[in-house]
Amino acid sequence: MSDHLVNADDRVKPAKDGANHPTLIRVHDALICCDSAWEEAYLRFESPEQEISKFRQRLLRLGAEQWSRDATIVELFCGRGGALCAWKQLGFSRLEGVDLSERLLRQYQGAARLYVCDARDLPFDSASRDIIAVQGGLHHLERLPQDVDRTLAEAARVLRPGGLFVAVEPWLTPFLRAVHAISEIKLVRRTLPKFDAFATMTEHERSTYEAWLHNPELVLQLLRKHFEPQHLRIRLGKLEFVGRRRD
């Protein structure tokens, strides 16, 4: 086991070399997301700076400016942690990230505590966190509705009464259909790396992605089952949802 990877029941230790490596807490066995082609495409889709800027603007649009800077925040399906950096830039510092891919978690540089962990089974006490966010993760779960229901139930369990659940996920709008159509054109893929990365990701996550995109009513029903919607908007191929834990 490396210096930066500890078991969940070990004490959390800082990296020994003083570098800005994350401390990883292993709760479950690590898994690659989809396959290595998917992970490589995800890493080249946007630069870390582009990704952080995207998350920052998104969180502001969702109302983050109004949220207490003391809030304890868990970013589920955090990947390489761009959203954790965005939260930090917005003044939040009590941050934790959860993802199954150790390789992606290791790309993160920052002070958030990271867990190699399945979002369906969180290692946190009930009613212990203020905000739980997921951005582009629920559509990776294998079984709809079971896994999505279980993940949302876990998030609701971990949130304090009145706590916020934030979700941003792909949504099948005319905009997204156009992006799919463009990204399938060979010349576009050859000349525009971002479209090639997008097309590669959708090819390698196809079964869960399609199930998600083609069941919007079911997804909304699951979100409403666990959270009282505060903000629900479809925008540029994304569902933006902020809800309060139902008591």
Ligand X SMILES: C[S@@+](CC[C@H](N)C(=O)[O-])C[C@H]1O[C@@H](n2cnc3c(N)ncnc32)[C@H](O)[C@@H]1O
CA atoms within 13 A on the CB side of 50: 7
Q: How far is the CB of 42 from ligand X (least distance, A)?
A: 6
Rounded to 5°, the CA angle 167-173-179 comes to 100
Which pair of structure tokens corresponds to residue 92? Answer: 């939040």
Q: How far is the CB of 16 from ligand X (least distance, A)?
A: 26
3 state SS of 38:
helix
Instruction: Centre a 10 Å sphere on the Cβ of residue 28 and count the other Cβ atoms it contains.
Output: 16
Q: How far is the CB of 136 from ligand X (least distance, A)?
A: 4
Q: CB nearer to ligand X: give 11 or 45.
A: 45
Q: CB nearer to ligand X: give 120 or 245.
A: 120
Q: Are 52 and 135 in contact (CB under 8 A)?
A: no
Q: CB nearer to ligand X: give 36 or 191.
A: 36
Q: CB nearer to ligand X: give 191 or 236.
A: 236
Q: How far is the CB of 13 from ligand X (least distance, A)?
A: 23
CA atoms of 84 and 219, how far apart (whole Å): 25
Q: How far is the CB of 83 from ligand X (least distance, A)?
A: 6
Positions that interact with ligand X (CB under 6 A) = 33, 42, 51, 77-79, 82-83, 98-101, 104, 118-120, 135-137, 140-141
Strand partners, 24: 5, 114
Stated as kind and residue range, the H or E segment containing 43 is helix 36-45
Closest-by-Cβ residue to ligand X is 79
Q: CB nearer to ligand X: give 143 or 190.
A: 143
